[in-house]
Chains A and B, each alone.
Chain A
Amino acid sequence: MTEAWPDPAAWLILLPLAWATLAFLAGPGRGGRLAIPALAAQCALALWLAVSLAESGARLHPVGGWGAPLGIDLLADGLSAVMLLLTQAVALALAVYAQAYFADAHHRHEATWFWPLTGFLIAAMNALFLSADLFNLYVTLELLGLAAVGLVAVGGGTAQIAAALRYLLVSLIASGAYLMGVALIYGTYGTAAIASLAPLIDPTPPLATWLAAGLMVVGLMAKTALFPFHFWLPPAHGGAPAPVSALLSALVVKASFYLVLRLALGPFAPLAEMAAWLAGGLGAAAILWGSWQALRTRHIKRLVAWSTVAQLGYLFLIFPLLAADGLAMQAGVMQAVAHGLAKAALFAAAGVLMRATGRDTLDGLAGVAGRVPLTLFAFGLAGVTIMGLPPSAGFLAKWLLIDAALASGQWGWVVVIIAGGLLAAGYIFRVLRRAFLVAPEDSRFHPVPRRLEWTAFALAVASVLLGLRGAELVALLG
């Protein structure tokens, strides 16, 4: 492949690396000016990639023309294209948000590291979605984890550093487990390329393969914050500055889920049957426990973070249903995309609400419906997606999931899905309800930049309107 223009896949990794480095050199406050146009270009690249995939199917790009096993292959198919599009789109909106967010004097110091780290984060994520080799995936996973941990600590507060440390330790142990799995796989089969592994693993593999699969999947589950490995998420996502929380909750946790999905669809498919029930069970527990905690917490961002724990549970419900007919896979990806957009909107809106009221508790919200109605509207719309109500993309995800569960006669999951939706309504309306209350006399509201409100709103609208274009997304998945 010697084209005049190299593959968009390679540029999707190089571009964020470049602007991240430049943002680091340019110094605080100037990163946004680099990041926003670059991210817009990345959006275009991802779109270009998706369109060309829709025409010609999956495509392989050997970096530097070396090719596996010595070189590195970048593989793009429908699934990676969807994740890439989601990542670039959400990151672009959040970059616009972050630039206005960090312009404020109280938050300016946080911007120092935000832009470079975000760049590296996006580069790692794009590389992860394009990797075709278990070891390369390990490297991208680790890079992603390090950038994410850095972002959690970006505020510099004690609680944030503690949360970052805890996140880092979980992340390191988890990727250690994953690496051990890769070592065992390589030792057993002599390759780490996903494509060549798939035909090698049969339904009765040696013990080492079982062990490897177990270590890798558990490590990835811990990184995805699946119950009961979720404990690090609420402090990390709940304590970081709003743009960081949004990036982490909307995108980063999806990366490790994507990897689990890849493994379950590809090389570990023969092993999936038994583990699938476990994954589904944990997912169900996550939905119930996460929602319950979201119903109890007093802090806005904690509530949104616990909601992430619950919503991630839906992603794992698909594994017992994967066999059916592609419905469950579509449901999982739809949920990942819907939740990505909606959660970014929720965190962005929560950031505005906290800045407007100057408080971080639900009790402080009385009367905000009259002050920042657009933000509240954004919160409500994103909430529609989280609750899985029509016409949002979250609704389509739930529809597909219920359809898949009924098609395979697994009734229990339907009950969990429905109950999860009602619980989500419970915690979303905890916020909306307080916002509609009459404001107490002594409450003071601070003005909020309009740009913060509009970006939150745009993300929320996207998460709802995507529900009308589900067919295109499914077609891209192939």
Chain B
Amino acid sequence: MSTGLLYALAGVLLFVLGAAGAVLLAHLMRKVLAFNVMGSGAFLVLVGLAQREDVIDPVPQAMVLTGIVVAVAATALALGLARAFHARTGRTGLTEEARRD
């Protein structure tokens, strides 16, 4: 098993963990963190799978850099909204809001 594949498998594991967390956890902060874990997993897969025979492919590196920038922006927006939500309701989770139609 090459190092690349190892990274990729770790990435898949992180992705699954993150996705489960983002769906299942109630606390908004935890959800945001879980999303970041999930994103990192995907980045790891992207870089890991692309490592072949010591030839470095620059494209995935560029992709991951772009992806990280996007993830930072998304995290910032999520935190901003979560703070606004907390300031208005004093709550840290959305669950109570779920059924209100």
Interface residues of A (CB under 8 A from B): 69-70, 135, 138-139, 142-143, 145-146, 149-150, 153, 156, 158-159, 161-162, 164-166, 168-169, 172-173, 176-177, 179-180, 182-184, 186-188, 190, 192, 234-235, 293, 297, 302
**What number of A-B contacts does a CB cutoff of 8 Å give?**
112
Known contacts A162-B85, A176-B18, A186 near B50 by CB under 8 Å = yes
Q: Is the CB of B49 within 8 A of A186?
A: yes
Q: Is the CB of B84 within 8 A of A180?
A: no
The binding surface of chain A is classed by DSSP as helix
Shortest Cβ gap from B79 to chain A (Å): 11
- Encode contact with A along B77-101: 1 for CB under 8 Å, 0 otherwise: 1100110110011000010010011
The binding surface of chain B is classed by DSSP as helix
Q: Is the CB of B45 within 8 A of A180?
A: yes
Q: Is the CB of B73 within 8 A of A146?
A: yes
Q: Is the CB of B8 within 8 A of A173?
A: no
Known contacts A164-B81, A168-B81, A173 near B38 by CB under 8 Å = yes
11 A-B contacts (beta carbon < 8 Å): A139-B70, A142-B70, A159-B97, A168-B77, A169-B22, A169-B94, A176-B35, A180-B42, A183-B49, A188-B49, A235-B100
Task: List 18 other contacts, CB 8 Å, given A168-B77, A176-B39, A177-B19.
Answer: A138-B67, A142-B70, A142-B74, A143-B70, A153-B84, A161-B84, A162-B94, A165-B78, A169-B22, A172-B22, A173-B35, A176-B19, A176-B42, A179-B42, A180-B41, A183-B45, A187-B45, A234-B101
Interface residues of B (CB under 8 A from A): 8, 11, 15, 18-19, 22-23, 28, 31, 35, 38-39, 41-43, 45-46, 48-50, 57-60, 63, 66-67, 70, 73-74, 77-78, 81-82, 84-85, 88-89, 94, 97, 100-101
Q: Is the CB of B74 within 8 A of A153?
A: no
Q: How far is the CA of A41 from the CA of B70 in the complex (A)?
A: 29
